[in-house]
Structure 1
Amino acid sequence: MSCDLFIFALKFIRNKSLHFNMPDDSIKYPIGVQSFEELRKGGYVYIDKTSIFPELFRKKYYFMSRPRRFGKSLLLSTLEAFFKGKKELFEGLTIYDLEKEWIEYPVVHIDFATMNECEILNFEKDLRLMIKNIAEEYGVDPEKDGWYPDEYTLGSLFSELIRILAKKTGRNVVVLIDEYDKGILDLLQDEEKLQQATVALRPFFSVLKSQDRYIKFAFVTGVSRFRNTTLFSGFNNPSDISMDARFGTLLGITKEEMLRYLSSGIKELAESYNYPCDKTIELLINKYDGYRFTRAKEYVFNPFSLLSALDSRQLDPYWIMTGSSRILAKFLKKSRFRLEDLTEKWVSFEKLSTPFSVDNPLSLFFQTGYLTIRDFDGDGYYRLGIPNQEVQSSLVNLLIPEFVEGDAGFEIEDIQQTLRRAINNGDVDGMMRTLKGLLASVPYQIIDNKPMEKHLHLCLYMIFMMLGANSECEVSRSAGRVDMVAQTPWRVYVFEFKIDRNPSEALRQISSKGYSLSWEARDRTVVKVGVNFSTELRTISDWSYEII
C-alpha cells in the first residue's frame, strides 16, 4: 500500500472517532515541552490521556513510577492546569465535556528535578526557595496570613504553606511533586549521605499526612519505587499505580495513538528513508515500542524517542543519547546479576514494586526502563524482557564489556555496527564471523565456572544483545523451542545451536520441526541458520544456512 493511500485510510479511521484532538498535517512535536499550557497554546500535538482522569480522581493520594523521559512532568502540568480550572486549555479533549464544575483549587507544584543534586544543604535550600515562591505567587502576606518562612523548619514551612493556602482560598490544596528521587538516586552508594537526605526530607513528605484535612489531591512521581522506604514513613498511604492495569497507558504512546495522531509524521519519515509506510511503522515499533508496566497486555512507545524520530525524520537512539543510568552501572558491579536473568527469570510483584538494591537488581532494570514486562503467570509473577532495539543497544554498551575481555581487538560499538550491517544486508557469513570473534573473547574464568551448555546459553544472550534486531531467545513453537529468532523488516533469521555437532544437523532440525513455518508465510525473506559451538575452541566453529 502506498503511503498516501495508507495515510488516507488512517485519517478515515481517525475521523470516525470522537473526543480526539486532531492535529493537521503540519505537526509541531513537543520535544522537551513539559508545560501543558505552553503545549496547548503553542499548537503542539497532544496525545489525549484525559479520558483516564475520572478514574484517577476516585482517590486522593497517588504515586507513580516511570523511567525518565516518559512524560511524568507533562502529566503533572496537565493536572495542575485542570485543578486550576483552566477549561479553555482542554477544549477538544475528552475531559472537556466530562467535567462539569471546573473549580479552581490552589496548587502546590514541587519539581525536584530543578534542584541541586547530592548536597543535601543545597537541596534543602532550593526546596525552601521553591515553597517561598509559591507562597508569593498566591500573595501570602506575613502580617495578614502569619507567614514567617525564615523561622520554620523545612517540614513546618511546607505544612504552613498548605494550611495558609487552604484558609486563604477557602478550598483544599492540590499537591503535585515531580521526580521526588532526582536528588537522592546518586546517594544510594553513599550510606552516610543517604541517611542525611532521608532525615532531612522525611518531615517534608510527612506533611502529606499531617495536613490531610487541607489536601484535595496529591500526586508524586519518580523513577524509583518508594514502598517501605523510610523517606516516606510518614506519608498518608498513597495508592501506588505504577503497576495498576487501569493506568498502564497513562504515560507513553500506544500504537493506536501513534496511528491516530501522528500519521503525517509517519509518512514524512517513510519518505525520508524511501520505505513503505507499513515497514516504517514496523521499524518504529521495533525501535521504540514494547514497554509494558502492568499485567495487562498493553504496550507503549517511549514518547520522547518516538516524537524525536518523527520530528527529525531519523531513527536514532534518542532516549539513550539523553544520558545512561550511572546507577545501573554501579549496581552491576556489586550485585549478583546474571546476564541470563534479563529474559529468563520470573520475578514476583513484591520484588518489582520495592526499592532496588544490590540483592534485587532486576527491579532497578525494570524501574529505570531497561527491562519491561513480557509475561504474567496469573499468580503474581512476571517475566521480564528488553523493551526494544533502542534499549537493547544501550545494554550492549553497558553489559557486554562486563563479559568480554577488555582488549578484544575491536570496539564494542564497531562490532555492533558490523553486525547490524550484516543482518540488514543478509550477509550471514559476515555476521557469523563477527560473532565467532566476539565469543572467543569471553574470559576463561567465566567459561570454566559454567557447564558448557550454560556457557552456550550465555553466548546466546550475547548474540541476542549484539544483533541489533528484534530478537528473541527460546521461542516456543508447537514442535519445540527455537533457540533464537532475529527479525528485521525485510528478513527473519531462525537459529538453531548445537554443541560439537555438524551445523547441517541443526539446519535440518529447523526444517523437520517446522520452526520457520510461521514466518515463511509472510512477505519477508527467511534465513535458516544452523550453528555449531565447539567445546575445544569455546566459540562458534562453523555454520550452515539456507535462504527461503
Structure 2
Amino acid sequence: MESLQRRYPIGIQTFFKIREENYLYIDKTEYIYQMTHSASGYVFLSRPRRFGKSLLASTLHSYFSGRKELFRGLAMERLETEWTEYPVLHFDMSMAKHVDKERLERLLDFMLSDYERAFGLDATDGDANLRLTRLIKRAYEQTGRQVVVLIDEYDAPLLDVVHEKENLDVLRNVMRNFYSPLKACDPYLKFVFLTGITKFSQLSIFSELNNIKNISMDEPYAAICGITEEEMLTQMQEDMDRLAAKLDVTPEEILEKLKENYDGYHFTFPSPDIYNPFSLLNAFADGKFGSYWFGSGTPTYLIKMLEKFGVEPSEIGNNHAEVSAFDAPTETMTDIIPLLYQSGYITIKDYDESIDLYTLDIPNKEVRLGLMKSLLPNYVASKTRETTTMVAYLSRDIRNDDMDSALRRLQTFLSTIPYCDNTGYEGHYQQMFYIIFSLLGSFVDVEVRTPRGRVDVVLRTKTTLYVMELKLDRTAGEAMEQINLKNYPERFALCGLPVVKVAINFDSERCTIGDWIIEK
C-alpha cells in the first residue's frame, strides 16, 4: 500500500523534522560524536552542493540542544551519556546567494536580530561583528554554558562573484567582518562548525582564525556526508528491491545502474565508494533513473570559471594533482582543478603515494552527461529541445553502428543552427564531437597518443571502436591519408572490438561537416 511506502527526505534538511515525521535517515551520528569530541573545537567541512552539509549542521544543532529523544535508535544514543544543552547560534548563509553588499548586510541584520530578541538584547544597527560578539557573550552569561556556532554554506555569498575581483573583494570584506569575532570569543565558545563548497583562504575570510581544523580530506570523515555503498546495502536494501521490481530487473542489475549513475565519489584515499545522496533518494522516490543533481541547477560560477581558465570540455576529466592543490585558496587559484573537485564535478579516483599524486576524474554518468549538456551551448548555439532531439537520434544511429547516418544527421543539424563563435579552428569541432559523443553515454577521448602521433577523436561503443581524424577546410581524403600514413588503428588492435576509420572535413564557411569517409 502507498501509505506504507518509505518516506524520503527530498529537499528536507532539518534533522528534527526527518526524525519526528519518520523520514529515512542514514545514521551519521557516530561521525558527529567523533568530530565533536576531537581535539579541535573549530571545524571546517567542504563538500559539493546537495551532499547533506545542511542536514549535518542541523543534526549538530539538535545534538548540542540536548534533544536526546531525536537520537533514539541511532549510534549517538549509546555514545553520548551527558546530553548537555548548549546555546546554539545557527546561521544559514545559503539565503545570501546572488546578493550585493546592501542585501547581504540586510540579511546579516535579519539573522542577528532574531537571536538578539531571543536572548533579550535590543536589536541595533551596529557593525555585524560587534553584534555577534555581544550576542555570544550574552548567550554565555545568560545560560552559564559555552556557545555553539554553526555556519552553513559560509561561502554562498561569494561563489557567484568568484570570477569578479571587484565584487568579490566587497562581499568578502563584509563576511570577514562578520566572522572575525569567532577567535576573539574563544573563551565563550564550545564548538564552531562551518560548511562550504570551496575554500576561500583563511587569511581573507576568517582573518586570524588560523586554529580551524579542515576535515574535508581526513580519512575518518570520508563518509560523513553522502551515502556509502555499505550503508545503501544495509539500510536501503528494501528500497533497492522495490526499484528492481518496478523496473523488472534483478537486484544485481539495479546496483550496477545505481553505481554507474550516482556512485564514484571519494573525498580522500583510501575511501569507501560514496553515492550522491540527493540523486540516490530521488531515484528511489521516483522509481526511475534521472539527472537529479544537475536538474537542481548548474552553478553559473562554474561555467564562468571554465571560460576564465580556458578549460576545454575534454580537459575536465582524467587529471592529476598534488595534495597541496586541494588546499589552494579559491580566490587566488591559478588552476581550475581545485574548484572542479570541491564542486563535485571531478573526484579522487586513485592516489600514488610514492609521488604524492592524486588521479581525478568525473565521478559518474549523471555528472558527465549533465556537465556536457551545460557546456554544449558554447559549441552548438541551438535551442535545448532541438539539440536534445538531435542527440537522441544520433544515439540511435551510433547504437545501430550507422556512423554514416549519424554524420549526415549532424551535418544537417549544424547547417540549420545559428552561427557559433570560435568556429575558425579545428579544436572547436574536436571539442564539439567530444561533448556530443559524451552525451551518447559512450567512451570518448581526444588527442589520444599513438606511436606515430595523436588521434583527434576515439569513440568506443559496445560493438565498435571508431578512430577519427578531423580536418578544417581541407578534404576527408587528406584526413584518411593521415590515418593510414600514421597507422592509427594499430594502437587499438588489442581492444577486442572491430576498428573503423572515420575521416571528416569541416567547412568553416558553412559551419558544418563538409565531407567524410568511413572505412572498416
TM range (shorter): 0.7 to 0.9
Residue 374 of structure 1, aligned match among 344, 349, 355: 349
Q: Does 1:531 align with 2:507?
A: no
Aligned mates of 1:52, 1:472 — CA distance in 2: 39
Q: Single out whichever of 405-414 and 157-166 deviates more from structure 2.
A: 405-414
Report the equivalent of 2:68.
87
Residue 214 of structure 1 aligns to which amino acid in structure 2?
A: Y
CA deviation digits over 1:135-173, x for unaligned, max 9?
333xx22xxxxx343163210111111111112111111
What is the CA-CA distance between 1:81 and the residue it aligns to?
0.9
What is the CA-CA distance between 1:531 and the residue it aligns to?
2.8
Residue 124 of structure 2, aligned match among 144, 150, 157: 150
Report the equivalent of 2:477.
none
Aligned mates of 1:438, 1:383 — CA distance in 2: 37
Q: Could you say if the C-alpha distance between residues 63 and 419 of structure 1 is closer, same or farther in structure 2, counting changes exceeding 3 Å?
A: farther
Q: Could you say if the C-alpha distance between residues 99 and 466 of structure 1 is closer, same or farther in structure 2, counting changes exceeding 3 Å?
A: same
- For the residue of structure 1 that corresponds to 2:45, the secondary structure is strand
Aligned mates of 1:245, 1:496 — CA distance in 2: 41
Aligned mates of 2:357, 2:346 — CA distance in 1: 15
Aligned mates of 2:156, 2:11 — CA distance in 1: 17
Q: Does 1:446 align with 2:422?
A: no
- For the residue of structure 2 that corresponds to 1:124, the secondary structure is helix
Residue 367 of structure 1 aligns to which amino acid in structure 2?
A: Q
Residue 361 of structure 2 aligns to which amino acid in structure 1?
A: G
Q: Is the 8 A contact 1:439 1:540 kept in 2?
A: no
Residue 242 of structure 1, aligned match among 203, 216, 222: 216
- For the residue of structure 2 that corresponds to 1:150, the secondary structure is coil
Report the equivalent of 2:259.
285
Q: Is the 8 A contact 2:325 2:338 kept in 1?
A: yes
- For the residue of structure 1 that corresponds to 2:425, the secondary structure is helix
Q: Is the 8 A contact 1:436 1:540 kept in 2?
A: no
Q: Is the 8 A contact 1:63 1:238 kept in 2?
A: yes
Aligned mates of 1:384, 1:407 — CA distance in 2: 31
Q: Could you say if the C-alpha distance between residues 43 and 248 of structure 1 is closer, same or farther in structure 2, counting changes exceeding 3 Å?
A: same
What is the CA-CA distance between 1:384 and the residue it aligns to?
1.7
Residue 365 of structure 1, aligned match among 324, 340, 351: 340
Aligned mates of 1:103, 1:119 — CA distance in 2: 39
Aligned mates of 2:249, 2:444 — CA distance in 1: 21
Q: Give 1:165-314 correspondences, 5 Å limit.
A: 165-228=139-202, 230-314=204-288
Residue 376 of structure 1 aligns to which amino acid in structure 2?
A: Y
What is the CA-CA distance between 1:297 and the residue it aligns to?
3.6
What is the CA-CA distance between 1:79 and the residue it aligns to?
0.8
Report the equivalent of 2:417.
none
Report the equivalent of 2:27.
48
- Structure 1 unaligned blocks of 5 or more: 1-23, 142-146, 450-454, 477-481, 517-527
What is the CA-CA distance between 1:385 and the residue it aligns to?
1.1
RMSD: 3.5
Aligned mates of 2:272, 2:359 — CA distance in 1: 15
What is the CA-CA distance between 1:326 and the residue it aligns to?
0.6
CA deviation digits over 1:31-75, x for unaligned, max 9?
111111110011111101112223312021111111111111100
Aligned mates of 2:376, 2:97 — CA distance in 1: 33
Q: Is the 8 A contact 1:342 1:384 kept in 2?
A: no
Residue 316 of structure 1, aligned match among 284, 290, 293: 290
Q: Could you say if the C-alpha distance between residues 291 and 151 of structure 1 is closer, same or farther in structure 2, counting changes exceeding 3 Å?
A: same
Aligned mates of 2:273, 2:516 — CA distance in 1: 36
Residue 305 of structure 2 aligns to which amino acid in structure 1?
A: F
Report the equivalent of 1:385.
361
Return the TM-score normalized by structure 1.
0.79
Q: Is the 8 A contact 2:434 2:444 kept in 1?
A: no
Report the equivalent of 1:75.
56
What is the CA-CA distance between 1:461 and the residue it aligns to?
4.2
What is the CA-CA distance between 1:237 and the residue it aligns to?
2.5
Q: Does 1:106 align with 2:82?
A: no
Aligned mates of 2:192, 2:90 — CA distance in 1: 10
Aligned mates of 2:126, 2:261 — CA distance in 1: 50
Residue 342 of structure 2 aligns to which amino acid in structure 1?
A: Q
Aligned mates of 2:85, 2:140 — CA distance in 1: 12
Report the equivalent of 2:375.
399
Residue 356 of structure 2 aligns to which amino acid in structure 1?
A: G
Task: Give the number of equivalent residue pairs.
Answer: 483
Aligned mates of 1:439, 1:352 — CA distance in 2: 44
- For the residue of structure 1 that corresponds to 2:441, the secondary structure is coil
What is the CA-CA distance between 1:472 and the residue it aligns to?
7.9
Residue 299 of structure 1 aligns to which amino acid in structure 2?
A: D
What is the CA-CA distance between 1:430 and the residue it aligns to?
5.5
CA deviation digits over 1:8-43, x for unaligned, max 9?
xxxxxxxxxxxxxxxx97311011111111100111
Q: Could you say if the C-alpha distance between residues 28 and 418 of structure 1 is closer, same or farther in structure 2, counting changes exceeding 3 Å?
A: same
- For the residue of structure 2 that corresponds to 1:343, the secondary structure is coil
- Structure 2 unaligned blocks of 5 or more: 415-419, 450-454, 470-479, 507-512
Report the equivalent of 1:124.
105
Report the equivalent of 2:510.
none
Aligned mates of 1:182, 1:41 — CA distance in 2: 29
Residue 377 of structure 1 aligns to which amino acid in structure 2?
A: D
Q: Is the 8 A contact 1:37 1:89 kept in 2?
A: yes
Aligned mates of 1:439, 1:509 — CA distance in 2: 32
Show structure 1 runs of 4+ deviating over 4 A. 407-411, 419-423, 438-444, 458-461, 469-476, 482-487, 505-510, 535-540
- For the residue of structure 2 that corresponds to 1:428, the secondary structure is coil
What is the CA-CA distance between 1:91 and the residue it aligns to?
1.1
CA deviation digits over 1:417-437, x for unaligned, max 9?
2344456xx422269825993
Residue 167 of structure 1 aligns to which amino acid in structure 2?
A: E
